[in-house]
Structure 1
């Protein structure tokens, strides 16, 4: 594990401290999770861009149109 000194505007520090306390965690853990989430989102977007580049635009659009044309299943409900 390594360390990194982070310069942070006071308003962001206070918000991070408040949210971390509400989640019963440390600011360090809050920052680690936030950075991991951002990296995951960016790498996921990059992955799909690379996958889309493997096929033609028309082929990718046809696949998306096929998925978008299907209605949700009757028993497909959100339980969150």
Structure 2
């Protein structure tokens, strides 16, 4: 593990301490979890953007054209 010094405004530090205590975890665990969640969010966006860049409009339209032109099934209607 790596030690890291982080400077936080006093108000943020106080709120982190309160939230960590509420979850019965340490401030360190709270911050590690928050950083992990942010990383997962950014990495997911990167993945989705990369996948979207591979898409082609012609493929979308071809598959959309395969959808039957029929009324929605009961329960699938839009309000």
> Could you state the TM-score of these two structures normalised by the residue count of structure 1?
0.72
Q: CA RMSD in A?
A: 2.4
Q: Secondary structure at the match of 1:51?
A: helix
> Residues 56-77 of structure 1: CA distance to partner in whole angstroms, max 9, x if unpaired?
25639x77xx8xx9x4xxxxxx
- Which one has the largest radius of gyration? 2
- The alignment partner of 1:13 has SS state of helix
Deviation at 1:22, TM superposition (A): 0.5
CA distance in 1, matches of 2:29, 2:44: 22
Structure 2 gap ranges (5+): none
Counterpart of 1:33 in structure 2 is 33
Measure the CA separation in 2 of the matches of 1:20 and 1:56: 46
* Deviations, residues 14-44 of structure 1 (Å, cap 9, x unaligned): 0000000000000000000000000000000
State the SS of the aligned residue for 2:36: helix
Unaligned runs of 5+ in 1: 72-80
Other-structure match for 2:11: 11
